[in-house]
């Protein structure tokens, strides 16, 4: 109870400090060109107060303080200590407190790391960031207080959803939030720079660090969520175009586009409007994701809350921020009339613009697919879901030219270029197309589109390998592009070559076809700390694989939920994946066995993309 009280009052004091910082910053902006040291001190105090509040909530979870409503709703005494701690942010209130903690940490780091920037710019950034922080403080205290007192005090809690009790998902939200909250610094920074007409080459080099940092964390967060969905949900896939998956992918697309625009702005004072709009869009999309997840209007396994009041607050707050952004953009943004330079058709700038158009198209398709069912439900009360076929039909054809431009673009020079080594580029394209055609022909002769798509992915793959030897200075770019080409190839081959068997078996029975035999040997029951485990023992034999796999059913005691845990045999070439589910009122078990080629390479390729971003982040600016 004491830790909850300390946590609550720390939040109240943190809100008061936010008001003090805004007041000091406005006064400092008017009367001085130097940053008042009090602003830095109060920023640290604010972060410390939120940290104390967050530690108070962790303490309440660890010691099972069921006088705290959040703890009561999301924990119980038999839950392992690790999941008691990580359960702090495995709920709506705790996740928002973590978000606020990162917000206050990032503005403090920004002040420490931006000493070489103009002081008026730093002060304005603090003001805009504190407006966001103030909004989150108000949101937490008014509608999502993680320290609500519960009386009478219960002896046991309701528990945490078992599918959230997983190591990957335990670290997935904090890493994802680092990516989301990083976009808030970009947002505040671009508004400050636009107000002061300070969008220039030097600002681009400064803010690129924050863009890359946010991008790296967001990419890692999406990767961890994807891995969790693959093995924990038991669906045998890594991406389902779930609305909540989409709302994390959209800011990633915007961030990626923004980073490439900043690369141009570092070289030439152009694309300023692009940079401003993308910076605002990235943060807006991050906030939209918060609204969709916490308003209850999405039906998803990922959603945290079902409270229209919370959704309305976030939507209203987002509307205010967007209105401020649009006002600043139209009033203060001025094109540099003294600089006029043509953009030649054959140049790196042109290739980046074209690929940015493609990225914005991809983002628009995902945005429409995510929000259209919501609007349709509001207007006509019709409930529909937009699934993979919609995205595949609209995205895959445009992915082909996107990959080709991505391969050719790095070969071009800034301002004006001549495409050197044309014969080599054409030869690699022909080889790629022929290679993909022969691969697809052996598996499915009807996939003409897939053969062209795989050919485009192979083309990017071969070009990036060649660039490792030709353009050694561009290591970060080469690693990231190589990782992306490997990702596309791995996903395509995974989709085309996957196999699935679904059957019902009793213990002792077997399933057999010309290529495969599945034998259900036995079922072992074990009592664990907070669940009962039923582990199946299966012998799997096919032409190239023979192994024992042990999928599991878990019956949790609090809350009383049955989950299916997959067993996966991982090799360099493929994953052998099996799950079991009980059939109601029968002694049969539903067995689902999948062969998923190149799954490991999907994870490795994303790590390579992240490595490319980290390499660019750590290297000195050219």
Count CB neighbours of 551 within 10 A.
24
- Cα-atom radius of gyration of the chain, to the nearest Å? 26
Q: Name which residue leads in pLDDT, 609 or 380.
A: 609
Rounded to 10 deg, the angle between the 167-195 and 92-113 helix axes is 50
Q: Name which residue leads in pLDDT, 108 or 621.
A: 108
Q: Name which residue leads in pLDDT, 450 or 215.
A: 215
For residues 336 and 330, what is the distance between their CA atoms, to the nearest angstrom?
Answer: 15
Mean pLDDT value across residues 50-63: 95
The predicted-structure confidence for 93-139, as pLDDT tens digits, reads as follows 898 899 999 999 999 999 999 999 999 999 999 999 999 999 999 99
Residue 451 tokens read as: 């053969």
Mean pLDDT value across residues 496-500: 88
Per-residue model confidence (pLDDT) at position 622: 39
- List alpha helices for 63-118, DSSP H: 69-74, 81-86, 92-113
Any idea what DSSP says for residue 270?
-
The predicted-structure confidence for 380-423, as pLDDT tens digits, reads as follows 777 777 888 899 899 999 999 999 989 888 877 776 666 555 67
Distances, alpha carbon 207 to alpha carbons 109, 258, 620, in Å: 13, 11, 14
Mean pLDDT value across residues 317-332: 91
Per-residue model confidence (pLDDT) at position 301: 47
The answer to whether residues 568 and 576 touch, using CB atoms and an 8 Å cutoff, is yes
Mean pLDDT value across residues 73-91: 85
| Residue 484 scores a pLDDT above 60 | yes
The predicted-structure confidence for 546-558, as pLDDT tens digits, reads as follows 889 999 999 887 7
The predicted-structure confidence for 504-560, as pLDDT tens digits, reads as follows 999 999 999 888 999 999 999 998 877 899 999 999 998 877 889 999 999 887 777
The answer to whether residues 367 and 250 touch, using CB atoms and an 8 Å cutoff, is yes
For residues 502 and 597, what is the distance between their CA atoms, to the nearest angstrom?
Answer: 18
Per-residue model confidence (pLDDT) at position 422: 65
Of 328, 239, 279, 203, residue with least CA distance to 621: 203
Per-residue model confidence (pLDDT) at position 337: 46
Across all residues in the chain, what is the average pLDDT?
87
Per-residue model confidence (pLDDT) at position 471: 67
For residues 230 and 209, what is the distance between their CA atoms, to the nearest angstrom?
Answer: 32
What does 332-401 look like in DSSP terms, one character per residue? H----TT------SSSHHHHHHHHHHHHHHHHHHHHHHHHHHHHHHHHH-------HHHHHHHHHHHHHH
Paired residues of 556 in beta bridges: 531
Tell me the pLDDT band of 144, cut-offs 50, 70 and 90.
confident
* Dihedral sign (CA 79, 83, 88, 92): negative
Mean pLDDT value across residues 207-231: 93
Per-residue model confidence (pLDDT) at position 593: 93
For residues 522 and 256, what is the distance between their CA atoms, to the nearest angstrom?
Answer: 50
Per-residue model confidence (pLDDT) at position 503: 92
The tokens 């207007």 sit on which residue? 379
By percentage, how much of the chain surpasses pLDDT 90? Answer: 49
Of 387, 392, 398, 103, residue with least CA distance to 245: 387
The predicted-structure confidence for 145-159, as pLDDT tens digits, reads as follows 999 998 888 888 887
User: How do the domains of the chain map onto residue ranges?
Assistant: 1-165, 501-599
The predicted-structure confidence for 558-578, as pLDDT tens digits, reads as follows 777 888 889 999 999 999 999
Per-residue model confidence (pLDDT) at position 621: 47
| Residue 298 scores a pLDDT above 70 | no
Per-residue model confidence (pLDDT) at position 444: 60
Per-residue model confidence (pLDDT) at position 591: 93
Q: Name which residue leads in pLDDT, 78 or 274.
A: 274
Per-residue model confidence (pLDDT) at position 418: 66
Rounded to 10 deg, the angle between the 167-195 and 119-143 helix axes is 130
Strands 545-549 and 499-505: unpaired
Instruction: Please tell me the pTM assigned to this model.
Output: 0.91
Any idea what DSSP says for residue 460?
H
Residue 450 tokens read as: 């897939």
The tokens 């976030």 sit on which residue? 314
Paired residues of 540 in beta bridges: 518, 547
Of 224, 295, 217, residue with least CA distance to 251: 217
């Amino acid at each position: 109870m004491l830790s909850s009280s300390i946590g609550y009052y720390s939040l109240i004091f943190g809100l008061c400090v936010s008001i003090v910082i805004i007041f000091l910053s406005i006064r400092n902006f008017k009367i001085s060109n130097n940053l008042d040291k009090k602003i830095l001190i109060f920023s640290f105090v604010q972060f410390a107060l939120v940290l104390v509040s967050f530690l108070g909530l962790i303490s309440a979870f660890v010691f099972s303080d069921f006088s705290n409503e959040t703890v009561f709703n999301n924990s119980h005494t038999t839950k392992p200590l690790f999941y008691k701690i990580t359960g702090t942010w495995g709920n709506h209130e705790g996740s928002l407190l973590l978000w606020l903690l990162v917000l206050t940490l990032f503005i403090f780091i920004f002040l420490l790391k931006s000493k070489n920037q103009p002081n008026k710019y730093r002060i304005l950034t603090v003001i805009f960031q504190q407006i966001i922080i103030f909004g989150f403080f108000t949101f937490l205290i008014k509608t999502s207080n993680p320290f609500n007192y519960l009386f009478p005090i219960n002896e046991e809690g309701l528990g945490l959803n078992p599918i959230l009790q997983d190591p990957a998902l335990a670290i997935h939200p904090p890493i994802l939030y680092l990516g989301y909250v990083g976009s808030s610094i970009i947002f505040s920074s671009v508004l400050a720079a636009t107000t002061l007409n300070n969008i220039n080459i030097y600002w681009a080099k400064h803010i690129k660090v924050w863009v890359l940092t946010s991008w790296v964390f967001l990419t890692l967060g999406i990767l961890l969520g994807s891995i969790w969905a693959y093995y924990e949900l038991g669906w045998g896939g890594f991406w389902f175009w779930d609305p909540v998956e989409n709302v994390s992918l959209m800011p990633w697309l915007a961030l990626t586009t923004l980073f490439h625009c900043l690369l141009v702005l570092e070289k030439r004072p152009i694309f300023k409007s692009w940079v401003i709009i993308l910076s605002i869009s990235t943060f807006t999309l991050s906030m939209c994701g918060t609204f969709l997840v916490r308003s209850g209007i999405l039906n998803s396994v990922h959603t945290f809350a079902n409270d229209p009041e919370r959704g309305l607050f976030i939507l209203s707050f987002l509307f205010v921020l967007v209105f401020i952004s649009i006002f600043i953009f139209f009033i203060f943004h001025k094109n540099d009339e003294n600089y006029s330079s043509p953009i030649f058709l054959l140049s790196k700038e042109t290739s980046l613009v074209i690929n940015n158009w493609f990225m914005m198209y991809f983002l628009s398709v995902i945005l429409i697919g995510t929000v259209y069912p919501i609007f349709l439900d509001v207007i006509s009360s019709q409930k529909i879901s937009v699934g993979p076929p919609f995205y595949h039909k609209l995205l895959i054809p445009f992915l082909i030219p996107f990959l080709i431009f991505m391969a050719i673009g790095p070969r071009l020079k800034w301002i004006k270029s001549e495409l050197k080594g044309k014969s080599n580029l054409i030869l690699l394209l022909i080889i790629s197309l022929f290679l993909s055609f022969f691969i697809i022909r052996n598996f499915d002769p009807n996939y003409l589109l897939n053969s062209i798509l795989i050919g485009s992915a192979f083309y990017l793959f071969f070009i990036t390998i060649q660039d490792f030897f030709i353009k050694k200075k561009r290591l970060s770019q080469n690693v990231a592009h190589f990782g992306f080409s490997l990702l596309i190839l791995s996903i395509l081959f995974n989709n085309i070559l996957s196999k699935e068997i679904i059957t019902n078996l009793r213990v002792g029975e077997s399933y057999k076809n010309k290529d495969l035999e599945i034998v259900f040997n036995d079922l072992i029951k074990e009592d664990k700390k907070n669940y009962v485990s039923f582990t199946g023992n299966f012998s799997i034999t096919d032409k190239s694989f023979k192994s024992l796999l042990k999928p599991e059913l878990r019956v949790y005691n609090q809350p009383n939920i049955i989950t299916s845990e997959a067993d996966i045999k991982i090799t360099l070439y493929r994953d052998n994946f099996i799950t079991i589910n009980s059939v109601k009122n029968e002694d049969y078990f539903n067995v689902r066995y999948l062969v998923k080629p190149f799954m490991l390479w999907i994870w490795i390729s994303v790590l390579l993309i992240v490595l490319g971003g980290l390499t660019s982040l750590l290297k000195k600016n050219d």
